[in-house]
A and B are shown apart, each in its own frame.
Chain A
Amino acid sequence: MRVAITAAALRTALGNDAATVWRRIQAGESAVAPVKGFDASGFGEDVQAAQIWTEPETPEDDPALRILGPHGRLLDAVALEAHAAAGLESVPRERVGLFVGMGMVDSPIDDLITAALAARNGSDRLSLTSFFAGAFRQIHPLWPLSMLNNVAAGQIAIDLDLRGDNLVLAADGPGGIRALLEAAYAVDEGACRCAIAAGVSGRVAAAVLARRVLDRRDEPPGEGSAALVLEREKDALARGAPVLGIVRGGATSFGEDRFDPARPAVKRTMQRTGCGHAGVFHGTPPPFGDLGPGTAAAHIAVQLAAWEAEPANGARRNALIVAGGVDSGGCIAIEEAAA
């Protein structure tokens, strides 16, 4: 596989462009800090995260923003930026795909609180009879859409008039890698001419921290998103698009190695692509936090910026971007663009 990366965009607590994020990482900076916006002390005295939003969430008045939520807005921003940077306006919209990795969405609970209180009907606990009899109407009618993972992807399609092949994966880190791989395969196999591949991790809320506790994951979560534009290398060169890097392939795996869930995926990726150990960018918690399904695309964007900032003399470099989940792993191999 030789699929070109022709644009990258990201939003993180450490910066909104890859070059800046790379510079700040090199300078030893970190966006990981004590959780703000709500009292997270119940999750531990020292619970930390890399946050973009530090104020409590309030429901939006604008219907589109209410549907999108913070995660949707982060996703929309990087998709629009990457689409523009790659100059995809000239590519037929039916041939542009969209592949997204997205974990549990951060739908607002304020509406639900109002409905729960209304359903108490004078007692101290919610009555299902009251809830069904009418208290549920306190929930905003657009709330259901805000909790569907695929709706944010649909909004990107509306904003960019994208009509092609598509997928939304419920994703942790390995799932985010899978979304990138599915996009690369779709391009490589001709299901679409170009694809936007993106991942997002939304607002750090109590529910997000709860899931991490239950999954026994202790790396600090981050808020952010990243998107790549992928197309066949020869197509990119033919239309004069900038080639930032090359996707060579990858793999995802499940449950073979209890101690390092990513190891089987790394091994398979090396076998499939011939990419070696050099430049392994293991999924250690980055200073912009664990972006879950957005981590791999963000790592790739930063790696490309690092290569650009520090040109090598000689052979093209490669990197293995790795993510491990609770019992699954993923790996994707990328190669430096030609000088």
Chain B
Amino acid sequence: MRRVVVTGLGLVTPLGRDVDDVWHRLLAGERGVTAPQRLGGHVPPSRAVGEVTGELWEAVTKGETDPRTAFARAAADDALTMAGIQHGAHDRAGVILGAGPGANSITDIDRFLDEDGRFDAVAFARNLDTLDPESLIRNAAERPAAEIARAYGIAGPVHAVTTACSASNQAIGMAYRSIRRGETDWVVTGGSDSQINPLGLVFFVLLGAYANVDHEDPASAGRPFDRRRSGLVMGEGAGIAVLESEEHARARGATILAEVCGYGSSLDAFRTTAPPPDGRGAAEAMAAALGDGDVGPGQVDFVNAHGTGTKRNDPAEIRAVRTVFGDHADEIAVSSSKGAMGHLLSAAAGVAFACCVKAVQEGAIPPTANLTEPDRMCDVDLVPDPNRRKPVRAAINNSFAFGGQNACVVVRRYEEQGA
């Protein structure tokens, strides 16, 4: 089996685009959650979001009407530039991305209702060119991956993973396995998502999962692991990485940032919208990832938690951490970036993966934003502000989805064989 390394990273997040800049803003405890700004003054019931706005929005969307595709393209451009890869005939490369399924457009449905309030399929069919350019009908989940492949001449496996909040980690895991078995030499992977649209903004409100928002301080709405947490805050963006076989990276003189050494996934088989309270499925995914990489629990110094800030996820995740790491759980730093940026849904684990790479590179762990009163059920080192400086030999990136799909990826410091 071949070793798999990371040679490029790219981000588009509510905290910015440049990887080092976003990383340092996270370490500094900055927060990118605000009141919604892109809806022309309309106020959705989800009154705090992690949006990509202003100059960054203008810079990354440039003529692309689907934000999810625009974010993926921009982050992939940065990751491939960092990796030193240009357009070419790349028949042993792939693009495997987590992506949101896309959204129906409520305005399209409204436009095609007849006088009796029924959907007029004939009028709809005759006006396809006028459909909302952001709707899922015009933007399949595969589109971000396909656009990247087309732009760079990538001709191997090009696919979209749609396991919601664990999609990026499953995409990274699929890419890692493809390179490890020798099917590909490198893969652009991670994820991209945006649900800042009318239906997306009521999605988690309907499910009763959105955070309560203090109008005066929307940035404090998402509070992972805090006693006063009330739900998640939605964000948008992309987290993209270039994974590559060690031999391929070394042969072309690429800078190796870290090694990906384990992947595991599991199913909760419990409830669609809640994890088992004992975190059984999460523990099984973490254990599978560590076992896959032959990494002992004692070698892990950082758990980049899924940490959504919902009532049920957070204690279940910490139970899982204790199950997997035993006494070593007290030595591990556990933090979540969702307080700072919101939950980037299908992109969340892609962004968190970049944080894991930076953590093992720099020996630093970002704080869990808005964590002021840790829940007593979450009894590990949750890294309240400020950040933590400590060597990170290995980090595990957690992600768990509505539907019960769990996926974890292990990243460790890169060391040459025999060094």
Contacts and interface: CB of A to CB of B under 8 A. Distances in A.
Interface of A: 38-43, 67, 93-94, 98, 102-105, 107, 109, 112-113, 115-117, 119-120, 125-126, 128-129, 131-132, 136-137, 139-141, 143-145, 147-151, 153-155, 157-158, 160-172, 175, 178, 182, 185, 189, 191, 206-207, 209-211, 213-214, 251-256, 264, 327-328
A168 B163 contact: yes
Contacts of A172: 142
B269 A163 contact: yes
Contacts of A120: 110
B155 A144 contact: no
Contacts of A115: 106
A327 B146 contact: yes
Interface string B189-218: 000000000110111111110000000000
Point out which of B91, B123, B202 has the most chain A C-beta atoms below 10 A from its C-beta.
B202
B272 A155 contact: yes
B377 interface: no
Contacts of B198: 128, 131-132
19 contacts: A98-B267, A119-B106, A136-B205, A145-B402, A150-B401, A154-B267, A158-B269, A166-B163, A166-B266, A170-B101, A170-B159, A171-B159, A172-B142, A175-B160, A191-B177, A253-B157, A254-B146, A254-B158, A328-B146
B28 to A, nearest CB: 33
Contacts of B128: 210, 213-214
B156 A170 contact: no
Given A94-B266, A150-B163, A157-B404, A105 B174 contact: no
Nearest to B180: A189
Given A42-B126, A169-B161, A162 B269 contact: yes
Nearest to A40: B121
Contacts of B42: 128-129, 132
Contacts of A140: 206
B125 A43 contact: yes
Interface in B141-198: 141-142, 146, 149-150, 154-164, 167, 170, 174, 177, 181, 183, 198
B290 to A, nearest CB: 14
Contact of A178 (B159, B177, B199): B159
Contact of B272 (A42, A116, A158): A158
Given A126-B110, A175-B159, A189 B91 contact: no
Given A131-B106, A166-B266, A256 B155 contact: yes
Contacts of B202: 132, 136, 139
Given A105-B101, A163-B281, 18 more contacts: A41-B125, A42-B123, A109-B104, A109-B119, A113-B113, A119-B106, A147-B101, A149-B164, A150-B162, A153-B405, A162-B267, A163-B266, A163-B267, A164-B267, A206-B124, A210-B131, A211-B137, A254-B149
Contact of B404 (A158, A167, A170): A158
Given A126-B106, A145-B272, A182-B174, A255 B266 contact: no
Interface residues of B, number: 84
Contacts of A107: 104
Interface in B75-120: 91, 94-95, 99, 101-102, 104, 106-107, 109-111, 113, 117-119
Contacts of A154: 267-268, 272, 401-405
Contacts of A109: 104, 109, 119
Nearest to A117: B117
Interface in B45-78: 45
Given A112-B106, A155-B272, A170 B206 contact: no
A132 B402 contact: no
Contacts of B281: 163
A141 B204 CA distance: 9
Given A102-B162, A141-B206, A168-B163, A150 B403 contact: yes
B345 to A, nearest CB: 10
A105 B141 CA distance: 11
B335 interface: no
A327 B119 CA distance: 32
B124 A42 contact: yes
Contacts of B155: 253-256, 264
B136 interface: yes
Contacts of A253: 91, 155-157
Contacts of B401: 150, 154
B186 to A, nearest CB: 14
A109 B136 CA distance: 14
A209 B162 CA distance: 21
Given A39-B122, A94-B284, A149 B267 contact: no
B256 interface: no
Contacts of B203: 144
A38 B121 contact: yes
Given A112-B109, A131-B106, A256-B155, A139 B206 contact: yes
Interface string B390-404: 000000000001111
B125 A40 contact: yes
A158 B271 contact: yes
B121 A117 contact: no
B104 A112 contact: yes
B162 A170 contact: yes
Contact of A104 (B99, B126, B140, B402): B140
B403 A151 contact: yes
Contacts of A157: 267-269, 404
B91 A165 contact: no
Contacts of A191: 177, 288, 292
